[in-house]
Amino acid sequence: MTSLDTTSKGHWDYPYKFEAEQWFGFVYLIHNQVTNQFYIGKKQFFHHGKKKSRTYGKEMTWRSYVGSSTHVKKDIKKYGKNNFSFEIIDLYKTKGGLYYAEAYLQMICECMTEKLNDGVTPRFYNRQIAAIRFVPSEEPTKRTRSFVSKIKKRFK
């Protein structure tokens, strides 16, 4: 396989050239520019899993991928794909790194609880983080939030 250039990234914005076969996958951000809603996700470049599988090692359709969210797909149909931006945030070499980065971004961005200015509409299309498939009725307390900054200071 050859180096990917800007045109071979499909609709994905990413400022650097890369060779997909050197990476496991990427974390991404989809932005609905009409509603100002977002989706954070991950995508593998190649099929992995059981080596006996007929798709093992074959390239995924990542260049045209628009996420796994039915809500995003519905809004793409409603508003048109040209009203969405598709951005690769970063590339990862391992499955563990990729899965962790996605969950990390979703948690830090509070994608399960963040609302638009109307206070009702979710800011993010995401409806789960890892195995958490419910919107919590209770948000992290101020003490919990301050603990995060305190514990990070200990690591320096």
What's the whole-model pTM score?
Answer: 0.81
Domain-embedded: residue 1: no
Nearest in space to 110 (alpha carbons), one of 151, 82, 145, 85: 145
Q: What is the CATH number of the domain that holds 123?
A: 3.40.1440.10
Q: 33: which 2 tokens? A: 């520019």
User: What is the spatial distance between Cα 98 and Cα 19, in angstroms, rounded to a whole number?
Assistant: 17
Domain-embedded: residue 53: yes
Return the higher-pLDDT residue of 140 and 68.
68
Number of domains, the chain: 1
Domain span at residue 66 reads 6-154
Q: pLDDT tens digit string along 80-107?
A: 999 999 999 999 999 889 998 999 899 9
User: What is the spatial distance between Cα 152 and Cα 134, in angstroms, rounded to a whole number?
Assistant: 28
